[in-house]
Amino acid sequence: MNIIRHIIVRGRVQGVGYRAFVEREALRRGVEGWVRNRRDGSVEAVFARAQEKVDAVVEACRRGPYSARVEQIDQRDGTEDELKLRAPGDVFSMLPTA
């Protein structure tokens, strides 16, 4: 069964390659969605696929790339409308800052 998960990651997660890390981890696991920086310094992402695949990406987000420092991840169920924000034709998109 597929799920959609929305997360917001706080800590030192901008300017350290965090979005590229998230995109790589999602694509490696066949997870759809998007990632973007937020003006408040956090990173926001939406993932969709089977629960175990989404959970694996969220767990990778807890680590982040070497230079990141993840302090907190807030997560909730995502929506189809949120998933539709990705670029048409993309499996996973890196969106502009919101």
Supply 96's token pair.
């502009």
Quick check: is 2 catalytic? no
The closest of 11, 98, 15 to 61, measured between CA atoms, is 11
In whole angstroms, give the CA distance from residue 28 to residue 59. 14
* Pair 31, 47: CB distance under 8 Å: yes
Question: Of 19, 36, 49, 86, which residue is the catalytic one?
Answer: 19
Question: Of 12, 24, 28, 37, which residue is the catalytic one?
Answer: 37
Q: Which residues are catalytic?
A: 19, 37
